[in-house]
Structure formats: C-alpha cells, structure tokens
Amino acid sequence: MRMRAAVLEEFGQPLVVQELDLAEPAAGEVLLRLVACGVCHTDMYTASGVDPSGYAPTVLGHEGAGVVEAVGEGVGSLAVGDHVVTLFSPQCRECVHCLSPKTNICLAIRDQQGKGYLPDGTTRLSRDGEPIRHFMGTSTFAEYTVMPEIALAKVSPEAPLDRACLFACGLSTGLGAAMFTAKVEAGSTCVVFGAGMVGLGAVAGCRLQGAERIVCVDLSDERLEMARHQGATDTLVGGVGGDGVVQAILDMTGGFGADYTIEATGNVAVMRQAVESARMGWGLATMCGVAGKGETLDIVPRLLITGRRVAGSSFGGVKGRDQVPQLVQRYLDGDIDVDAFLSHRITLDEVNTGFELMEAQDGIRSVIDFG
C-alpha cells in the first residue's frame, strides 16, 4: 500500500514528509493505522545525529497509538479493530528476561530492532523498490506502520488515542521509574529532577505510590507549577551550576537526603546531583535520562560506600503488553491527569514544528493528529 510518512533523510536536516510503500504484515506482524503520535525527545535526539546508534534514511516516531487494520499469520492476541499503543520496548512473554520480574528488557527481537529491521531481518517500508529502515521497531511518524505483535499493547477502546499515545514512551517511562524501578514506598521523600514529560510522569508515579513529600526541580516556573498539579509538594528552581540544589535538598531533609531521587533530564551534571541528593544509608537514585554520546557520570565512591544506590531505568521498567493497559486504566479511573500534558496538536506535515516547539520548551508534548 502507499502511505505518507516523515523520513529522516540526513542527520541534522528537517524530516521530509513523502509517500512510501508499505508491505503487508508477515507472520507474527500487525498492520496498524496511526491515529495519534507524540513527538518525543528521542526522535529529535536521533534526527540530530548525536545518537550513536542512529541511522538514515528511516521513518522516525515511536510514541504512537492507533487501530489494528490487519494481522499476519499466527497473530493471536490482537484482532482487526483493536486499539493499541506502540511499544519500542516489546514483551514476548517467553524469553528469560520476560519471565523474570527483575527487568522489562525483552530479548526476543532486540538485535534486529536495533539495526532497523523487523524480526526476520527485512523491512516493510520501501521507496522506489529500495528498503527504508524502521525506527525503534515502530516508525510511527506515518499514516500506517507494520509492527511485531509482541510490540503492541491492547488498551481500552474508551481511552482517547491522542492521550493513550503518551503511554507509548514518555508518560510510562516516568510513571514506571517511580512505580516499577524505584518501587517508591508510601510515606517516603522523593526528589524528581526535570519537569518535562518523563519528570512529570515520575511525580505522578511518586504520588500514586503514596510518597509523603515530592520535590520537583526544574528551571521553569511554569513547568514546576505543572509538577504541583501532578502531586509535587515542594518545588525548587535549579540548574546544574554549583551545589545549591543539593544543599537545598539536604536542608529540607535534615541533612540526610531523599529516600528516592529520579533524574529525567539526560544531563550528566544533573545525574550527579541526583546521586548526591539521595539519602545516606539507603537512598536510591534512578536514572531515566539519555545522556549524549561519550558522556560519563562522575560519582564520588564515598557516596556509594555510605549506602546510596544507583539504578538505570529503561521505559520505566514497564512490561509493555501487561502494564501499559493497566496504566491507561489508571488514567481512565481519574488517577492521572493526562490532558495536562497535551500542549499542541499538529499534523504530520508539521512534524518539524513539533521539534521546534520542543527545542523552545514550549509546552510538554506536541501530538500528531492523523485525523
């Protein structure tokens, strides 16, 4: 079939919306009609050329939601008409990682996905007979996409897809970092660094876990006000210079630091602040942000010897097919205000505007409406 998609032709250049060919789904695959897709920082990160694993040409986009149009041979968990959220982090439910409660990083299709291919090592996207690689196994800056069955989460048809799409990446990453990676305990003190999509999700996750005190740190007063709306009890305006933020957090916590800190900026200096702000004895610093190529996190070993721990979190530790539908239901139940995150509605032709709005920190999330 012919369909329109936003193609990354060259790193550092605007995406080009054009017509491509999309092949039918093979065995174990699903044809999805996109209804909505968030414009995420990871898309812009790859488009810029600083992503060490990036490649071009490719169709970007991974924060998608839509309706199943057709299924390939052997697909049993999805049917035509189902509403689904795309998963860049799949869940086969069979590999050693999927069977373990310790991780959500599925191994089933990881190698081919990282190279831009579907599980059989080929693509369904092409232009004039030449293959176009898939991005993160999703490629949702497109009217249609073909994806593996194990990379789609079936959600309630009651959930508006322009909200549900946010659970495909940013919102689930933040919620999950608090709920599934850190496993924030009721009555605890938490500090979230960054009040973008992931950080605000982490604030909401800490609230849902019953944290008594939730401090959010960001440079923007407007975003900090949004953090209060999501459940932050305290806010701090702070950047990466000096020790002011760390000292302020120590002062707020009797000199000990916070039980849980969550970093959601991708800035290695802020990551260090998250470690230094964690409580002596048992503080856990969880890292969600993606740092630049070649950057390293500098930690004074004494901080670890005195009991602090550091954890990484991919997609918030969320097992996508099982837990994304549960998180969407929490939204439908009124536990999470997702409407507040949807800042701009744009068309596929305006996808580069979405990047510009993100660069200007204008709003939290621009969502492509496919109509």
Residues known to be catalytic: 40-42, 62-63, 92, 95, 98, 106, 110, 169, 365
Instruction: Identify the CA nearest to 183 among candidates 309, 344, 349, 78.
Output: 309
The secondary structure of 111-132, three-state, reads HHHHHCCCCCCCCCEEECCEEE
SS3 16: strand
Burial (CB count within 10 angstroms: exposed 0-12, middle 13-18, buried 19+), residue 305: exposed
Compute φ and ψ for 268, nearest 5 degrees: -65, -25
- Which whole-number Å values give the CA distances from 189 to 59, 247, 259, 264, in the listed order? 41, 16, 5, 17
Q: Are 166 and 144 in contact (CB under 8 A)?
A: no
Instruction: Identify the CA nearest to 41 among candidates 369, 371, 370, 360.
Output: 360
Q: Order across the sheet with 189-193: list the strands.
A: 234-237, 213-218, 189-193, 260-263, 284-287, 309-312
- As given in the structure block, the two tokens for residue 94 are 């069979």
Helix then strand then coil, % of the chain, to nearest 5: 30, 25, 45
